[in-house]
Amino acid sequence: MVNVTTKVVSGVYTVAEANDLVTPVVFDSPHSGIEFPADFQSSVAPSLLTSVADLYVDELYADAVNRGAAFLKAHFPRVYVDANRPLSDLDESLLSGTDRDIKDAKLKGARGIGLIWTLAPDQSPIYDAPLTESQMRRRVDRYWVPYQAMLDALLAARRNAFGAVWHVNCHSMPGAGTKLMGDFGNPRPDIIIGTRDGTTCSPEFETLIAEHFSGKGFDTRVNELFKGADIVRRCGDPANGRHSVQIEINKSLYMDEQNFDRLDSFQEFRDDVIAPLMDAVCAYATEQCPGCLPDDIETAV
């Protein structure tokens, strides 16, 4: 059993990693959080907002740490502040009066699903009035920034120790398309691998993950619909030894999307599909740089 250190920053994140760096792999789950901060106020039904969380994804991948990898998960909800969006991706409708110059509205923010979400899945407004600049900066400073800083530290520690790092950004998606994504009602594949058209990792790493799922019989697509959002864009730099992949798992494979319960087959899916994926990723990454780990490298936690 691997000796593990776990750090919890209340309401923000939990990070776990082996006390000794044994493999250059990091897994993170930025959208599994459902702990709404006290200052969040909305007339939208909580169940509607919870439906966009990547429920139980953190449980699927939590055992990565026992394989020597690091695992980071967010506690805060993506609708409150989205860890997988850049700071510039803000909906202008959030800004009141003179605050309108704080950010440029673009990317997903213009559709209501940017850094701070403005629309619920049914396209109803989340807020009755614009947020102030101080309210938005508090969300960024207290939640978004610490999450990014810890993810960066985990990646840097392994990149420095091994000369390279392999990162899996863990997500789930509704079984059918949504209004917010513009594919309403369309059935989605089982798995979507996102590498921003091959720019965030080596071709071999992309193929390893895609073939794992397709070999298990899942309808697996690469760079379709979800090509990879801001975290893999920011963290992936294969020319400099940083390989980052986004994985979207169809929620219908492991949970009931109506009542939010885990399926009876949840543990089987975790043990038969996700566990061997983590084994394969860690083995592959470790094989890429054998014998290159110094004795005095410190972990990030």
- Mean per-residue pLDDT for 105-129? 79
Which CATH class name applies to 4-39+56-78+138-288? alpha beta
Tell me the pLDDT tens digit for each residue of 233-257: 999 999 999 999 999 999 999 999 9
Q: Which residues pair with 27 in a beta bridge?
A: 71, 168
What share of the chain has pLDDT > 70, as a percent? 89
Residue whose token pair is 């994804």: 57
What residue segments make up the domains of the chain, in order of their start? 4-39+56-78+138-288
Over 90: is that where the pLDDT of 63 sits? yes
Is residue 84's pLDDT more than 90? yes
Inform me whether the pLDDT recorded for 12 exceeds 70: yes
Closest CA to 75 of 17, 144, 168: 144
pLDDT score of 297: 54
Three-state SS at 286: helix
Residue bearing tokens 């009066």 = 97
Give yes or no for a contact between 241 and 213, defined as CB atoms under 8 angstroms apart.
no
pLDDT tier at 298 (50, 70, 90 boundaries)?
A: low
Q: Is the pLDDT of residue 90 over 90?
A: no
Residue predicted with more confidence, 95 or 280: 280
Q: Which residue in this structure is represented by tokens 């492991």?
A: 254
Please give the pLDDT value at position 102: 40
